[in-house]
Structure 1
Amino acid sequence: MTVREAVTVERLDGAGAARAEGELRKVYAEVFAEPPYFESAEGVEAGFRRFDAEVREPGFRAAIARAADGEPVGMAYGHPLGAASGWWERMITPVAEGMGREDGRRTFGLMELAVRARWRRLDVGRRLHDALIEGAGEERVMLNMWPEATAALAAYRRWGYRKVGEARGGADGFVMDAMILDLPPHS
């Protein structure tokens, strides 16, 4: 069995993600301590205070990847954007009229996706991403990402995402790329 085959991906709802918080936090803390993020322990704590609220959002879903020994190697999570989500209000770049209309069913907000270094380039990130959007009723997926994260940017582009503008992120107002993936219509 190859390393790629040995990795399993499990999709979780909000309650399941809350139970797996320790595993998700472990992956998050390790991955986002790396450049270009340089996330501190305080930043991880702040991120998981948001996570505690996000798991209660309607439609929240997560995915966790584990190695054959059960060790968490990747994670992703998000939820549909409601009308009052605030994502579009952080845009610096004007977007086409109607693009920012949200109703809790139109757009899935991909909040985080992270894969530990040893398991990168094995399609773990893609499998996590696909587990989140498989069978989704949303029209599109939106994410904000650091433009300096060139490997992540290349992956998102390969998966079909396109940049729609720039947005302010976090309390310190750093600039992030806002990206959208249009999902195929459901029959």
Structure 2
Amino acid sequence: MTEQATVAIERMDGAAAAKAEGALGLIYAEVFAEPPYNETEDDAVAALRWLSSQLHRATFRAALARTQDGDPVGMAYGWSVPPDTVWWDELTVPVSADMRREDGHRTFGLMELAVRAPWRGRGIARRLHEALLEGNGAERVLLNVQPGSKAAVAAYRAWGYRTIGEARPREAGGNPREVMLLDLRG
């Protein structure tokens, strides 16, 4: 049995993700407590509360990686970017009207992708990414990544993402994020 075979990836809609919130929360809290994120327990609780409020979205998708014993090792989730999104408004340099155009299906927003430290370097992040995007019908994928997360930025670039700008989140004290885009049309 290969190492890759010891981890199963489960695709989920919002209802299934709600049942797996404990696993998603555990992964989030562990991964984002590490540098460069340095999130606190309160940050993780707030992130899980926000996630819970998003599970009702019709286009919500998640992928959860677990060992054969059921231990959660990685997760990814997101949804289609709605026409009234403020995502583009956070860019420090505006982009063209065509780039900003959203119809609720054109762009998939990758909100989080995380793999626990002992499981990194085994291709799990890529498998989560592929499972999350498989069959979603979007033309492109949009994400924000903290520039200090060198491994994440390098992985996204290796998967074909390109940087299209910098965003400064609306919340006070929010760190700038690198905004990346992946064209799925080939």
Residue equivalent to 2:56: 56
Secondary structure, counterpart of 1:99 in structure 2: helix
Residue equivalent to 1:132: 132
Secondary structure, counterpart of 1:39 in structure 2: coil
Residue equivalent to 2:114: 114
CA distance in 1, matches of 2:68, 2:3: 8
Residue equivalent to 2:150: 150
Q: Write the mapping of 1:1-187 to structure 2, written as runs, cut at 5 A.
A: 1-169=1-169, 171=171, 172-184=173-185
Mind listing any 5+ residue stretches in structure 2 that lack a counterpart? none
Aligned Cα root-mean-square deviation (Å): 1.1
Could you list the structure 1 runs, at least 4 aligned residues long, displaced by more than 2 angstroms after superposition.
none
**C-alpha displacement at 1:86, in angstroms?**
1.1
Residue identity over aligned pairs, in percent, reads 54
Mind listing any 5+ residue stretches in structure 1 that lack a counterpart? none
Moved more, 96-105 or 12-21: 96-105
TM-score by length of 2: 0.96
CA distance in 2, matches of 1:158, 1:93: 25
Q: CA offsets, 1:111-157, max 9 Å, x none?
A: 00000011111010000000011111110000000000000000000
Q: CA offsets, 1:3-54, max 9 Å, x none?
A: 2220110000010011100000000100000000001011111111210121
**C-alpha displacement at 1:81, in angstroms?**
0.5
**What amino acid is the match of 1:177?**
E
Q: Work out whether residues 90 and 170 of structure 2, in 8 Å CA contact, stay in contact via their aligned partners in 1.
A: no
Aligned residues: 185
**C-alpha displacement at 1:97, in angstroms?**
2.9
**What amino acid is the match of 2:180?**
M
**What amino acid is the match of 1:23?**
A
CA distance in 1, matches of 2:141, 2:106: 9
Secondary structure, counterpart of 2:103 in structure 1: coil
**C-alpha displacement at 1:170, in angstroms?**
5.5
